[in-house]
Amino acid sequence: MDLKPDDDRPECACPADSRIARHFDAAVAKRCAKGQEHAVLPVSEHLLDALLPLNPIGRTVLELGCGRGGLLLRLVQAGAMRATGIDLSPASIAVAQNQFEQAQLSERVHLSVGDAALVPLENHDWVVLDRVICCYPDVEELLANTLPAAKGIYAFTVPNSRGWRGFLSRLIEWLENGWNRLRGLPCPGYVHDIDLIEGRLRAAGFRLRHQDPGFWHLAIYERVAT
């Protein structure tokens, strides 16, 4: 697939959105030019390992920041009934669509370009944000838009903000952000306070189901039945 970043594409409503989209469009184009596979990253594999025992069969799944669709495809292959993927990067969505078509599962997925913090979201059984929260400067806005969409499970991975892991996460983000600015790639990352994120989840009626506090903090929350 020959994908190129569209430099003539209009800017997104928010400058941060445009930076994120262009960053990942360029990354996808680079991988495609090299003929590299669009593999699921280790942190995403780890999240899959935690989600699959919860039984995706018959579930509806919404992945925000679905990227190239690897994780979402695996959940559909494991039995998810219907999947929705939203991402800021048109090139990533194109690759994801191609992956579903090759797997002959395109009829069970709806993929679109959009901002997870702003677009209207339909309710799904599971909502997944894998390495996504760290791309948004305003975590409160993102959580406010996405938490109501989760009928059952809300799962996410973020850079750990706690203890010595948090110190290293912030140092790494600071170095990467500085290096990217020098290269003309102003797409900053953020290490958001996990206590704040989890507090918003509890306030919205979720309880912790599973967590793994590594350098990438993985957490799965479940909505409490009322």
What's the chain's length in residues? 226
pLDDT computed for residue 222 by the predictor: 98
Instruction: State what percent of residues in the chain have pLDDT above 90.
Output: 64
pLDDT computed for residue 7 by the predictor: 34
Q: What one-character DSSP code corresponds to residue 118? A: T
**pLDDT over threshold 60, residue 14:** no
Show the tokens assigned to 138: 């305003």
**What would the pLDDT profile of 207-221 be if each residue is shown by its tens digit?**
999 999 889 999 999
Helix (H, G, I), strand (E, B) or coil at 222: strand
pLDDT computed for residue 189 by the predictor: 84
**pLDDT over threshold 90, residue 116:** yes
In CATH, the architecture of 40-223 is 3-Layer(aba) Sandwich (3.40)
Question: What is 51-67 written as a DSSP string?
Answer: HGGG--TT-EEEEET-T
Show the tokens assigned to 37: 């596979």
pLDDT computed for residue 122 by the predictor: 96
Which residue carries 């967590």 as its tokens? 211
What are the structural domain ranges in the chain? 40-223
For residues 156-162, give the mean pLDDT.
95
**pLDDT over threshold 60, residue 137:** yes
pLDDT computed for residue 18 by the predictor: 64
Exposed (0-12), middle (13-18) or buried (19+): which is 104, by Cβ within 10 Å?
Answer: exposed
For residues 114-133, give the mean pLDDT.
95
Show the tokens assigned to 38: 């669009």
| E-strand stretches of 11-149 | 60-64, 82-87, 109-113, 124-130
For residues 25-41, give the mean pLDDT.
63
Q: Phi/psi at 72 (nearest 5 deg)? A: -65, -40
pLDDT computed for residue 13 by the predictor: 35
| pTM confidence score | 0.84
- Distance of alpha carbon 50 from alpha carbon 47, whole angstroms: 5
Is 128:84 a contact under the CB 8 Å cutoff? no
Lowest average pLDDT, out of 18-32, 40-54, 171-185, goes to 18-32
**pLDDT over threshold 80, residue 100:** yes
Q: Phi/psi at 204 (nearest 5 deg)? A: -85, 0
**What would the pLDDT profile of 169-179 be if each residue is shown by its tens digit?**
889 888 887 87
The band of 64, judged by pLDDT with boundaries at 50, 70 and 90, is: very high
